[in-house]
A and B are shown apart, each in its own frame.
Chain A
Amino acid sequence: MSGAYDLIVLGAGPAGVGAAVTARSHGLSVLVVDENETTGGQVYRATPQAFATRADAPANPDKKEGAGQRQSLLASGAAVAFRHSVWQVSPGYRVDAVGQGGPVHWSAPAVIAATGTTERVVPFPGWTLPGVIGLAAATILLKSQQMLPGRRPVIAGCGPLLAAVAVAVLDGGGKPAAVLDLSGPGDWLAALPALASRPDLALRGLGWVVRLKAAGVPVHFRTGIAAVRETADGLAVTPCRVDADRRPLPDGAGQDIETDCVAVGHGLTPGTEITRLLRARHRFDAALGGWVAEHDADFRTSLPGLYVAGDGAGISGAAAAHLQGQLAGLAVARDLGRLGADAHETAAAPVRKRLAAAQRFGRAMARLMALRPAHAASVAPDTVVCRCEDVTRGEIDEAVAAGARDVNQLKAWTRCGMGPCQGRMCGETAASLVAEAVGSRGAAGLWTGRAPLRPVPMDLLTGDFTYADIPLPKAAPL
């Protein structure tokens, strides 16, 4: 299914759907590509199509919003390519992907990267053990697979996902052994003014807290994980109290907690692989979750025809992402000459206004989850930072001491970030450690984007192309 479109949207989460539906409504031909089997991204991730939701299953506002967006995309007439992994985007633009049927490529003068986020996990001893999973992974198990991460999981990290996951475990019939929150009550209080901008979400969060208390789930504030180790029948977590900068307190270690699963997440960082690959300009903003592609108020990047939207443009939350997608869709319609300047302004103004309110809430949550340099600095020398290549903190320090001045030098010298995840898992910690030496995250830089964006089997790329298909020029006469 190759072909040409006016616009290709990469990612079918709230931002991608907002972009595609808006662009379609102005007559553009649109293709939406996503790795999952349907829309929703991770936030509105649906149960598998093979599962039948029971009529008496508890209602949930996210499920409703996700279903509405799914419907709006299907009704929009946009072409969709689900279960396709994009591995290359070339200037112009050409998008290469692999799906069940093998390699495909499409072209369009405009691309919107709506690729969402990656979860950040700051390493601790034992974080690579089977049974230790991301907090976002736990939400996927619960929301999509309808599966508990454990009967008595430890839920650790920071941000609103902690309580959301803990309550979903209770709803599913499990009981969290403990919730360990790096934030203190004061951090949550500081977010109150922004929380007031979304009373529905604030009330939902409050409901979660009440629910956990009623169920007798221990919630420890200003507490992280010192270490996880395997036991005869599961895992044991050593909790550790931290200071306001999330630095472990010297005598902060607490009693071990026995558990069957650890779900841990230290916030979200924008997924910038597409914009990095195309060499758009980026800037670092800790409050937005890390490096983001520079963009204007209509989400145009520094490259003509390339747009960003959603958490990949800076962590702002699902509601803001959907509106950002709409603005990017409107900008594409205008830039392709399908929407006049006045009509564009008329359409964009109310969306911008709603976005300002939605971003307030999302960005307060992003600040709560932002990486504190002292947290990354607390990683022990023998702890693995780069999971793919088993590169330890000590090896990173050695490279920095030997003169590695940015993350790409670090990568070349140590292989940190060079493995199949392409630095998605270790990038934030590694960059924070380099930044300590060179002064700032801006100076430490960001991984250079490289294709393939996902590991792709060679035979899928070549398809039925064989040696005999290689065009050989006729030999010159002797």
Chain B
Amino acid sequence: MSLRIGHTVDRPGAVTITVDGTPVSAHPGESVAAALFAAGRRRLRESPRAGAPRGMFCLMGACQECVVIVGGRRVPACQTPVSEGLAVTTGVPW
């Protein structure tokens, strides 16, 4: 069942981003972090020392837990808007 709340807003039509090569549907306006969370892809990286799984945590660009690679750069997924064809790579070590 979708986590997207349907009765309050009209979202633009879905676009497709790829996450580690797998297509994931998302709506313009959503952050990469929220789109992945809604798609059930919560594990975004492993911690540098213990190798423990991590996912989005603060959603306001402070904690840096949701860092992924987009366009060759490390970016916080929560501050990065989705767009058609956006290629996201997870599992970035610090």
Whether A50 and B29, one on each chain, are in contact in the complex, defined by CB atoms closer than 8 angstroms, is yes
Please give, as numbers and ranges, the residues of chain B lying within 8 Å of A294 by CB-CB distance. none
Using a CB-CB cutoff of 8 Å, which residues 119-142 of chain A contact chain B? 119, 128-134, 136-137, 140-142
Task: Indicate if B77 sits at the interface (CB-CB under 8 A).
Answer: no
Whether B50 and A390, one on each chain, are in contact in the complex, defined by CB atoms closer than 8 angstroms, is yes
Instruction: How many A-B residue pairs have C-beta atoms within 8 angstroms? Tell me.
Output: 142
Whether A119 and B58, one on each chain, are in contact in the complex, defined by CB atoms closer than 8 angstroms, is yes
Residue of B whose beta carbon sits closest to that of A145: B34
Task: Indicate if A388 sits at the interface (CB-CB under 8 A).
Answer: yes
Q: A421-B63, A425-B63 are in contact. Are A132 and B9 (CB under 8 A)?
A: no
Task: Indicate if B17 sits at the interface (CB-CB under 8 A).
Answer: no
Task: Indicate if B8 sits at the interface (CB-CB under 8 A).
Answer: yes
Using a CB-CB cutoff of 8 Å, which residues 28-72 of chain B contact chain A? 28-31, 34, 37-38, 42-44, 47-50, 52-65, 67
Please give, as numbers and ranges, the residues of chain A lying within 8 Å of B94 by CB-CB distance. 388, 419-420
Residue of A whose beta carbon sits closest to that of B71: A457
Complex alpha-carbon distance, A146 and B1, angstroms: 15
A130 partner, pick from B6, B8, B54, beta carbons under 8 A: B54
Complex alpha-carbon distance, A57 and B65, angstroms: 33
Q: A57-B7, A146-B9 are in contact. Are A128 and B28 (CB under 8 A)?
A: no
- Closest approach, in angstroms, between the C-beta of A225 and any C-beta of chain B? 15
Complex alpha-carbon distance, A51 and B5, angstroms: 12
Please give, as numbers and ranges, the residues of chain A lying within 8 Å of B6 by CB-CB distance. 173
Binds B, one of A41-49, A209-217, A309-317, A352-360: A41-49
Whether B12 and A50, one on each chain, are in contact in the complex, defined by CB atoms closer than 8 angstroms, is yes
Q: A130-B54, A151-B1 are in contact. Are A54 and B63 (CB under 8 A)?
A: no
4 A-B pairs closest in CB distance: A130-B55, A48-B29, A50-B29, A390-B49
Given contacts A51-B10, A425-B62, A457-B73, 12 further A-B contacts (CB under 8 A): A42-B60, A48-B29, A130-B43, A146-B11, A147-B34, A147-B38, A148-B4, A151-B1, A387-B54, A388-B94, A389-B48, A459-B73
22 intermolecular pairs with C-beta atoms under 8 Å apart: A48-B81, A85-B61, A119-B58, A128-B52, A130-B54, A133-B57, A134-B59, A136-B59, A137-B57, A137-B58, A140-B59, A140-B60, A147-B5, A148-B5, A151-B3, A172-B5, A173-B7, A388-B64, A390-B47, A420-B64, A421-B62, A424-B63
Using a CB–CB cutoff of 8 Å, the interface residues on chain A facing chain B are 35, 42, 47-54, 57-58, 85, 118-119, 128-134, 136-137, 140-142, 145-151, 172-173, 384, 387-390, 419-421, 424-425, 454-455, 457, 459-460
Using a CB–CB cutoff of 8 Å, the interface residues on chain B facing chain A are 1, 3-12, 27-31, 34, 37-38, 42-44, 47-50, 52-65, 67, 73-74, 79, 81, 94
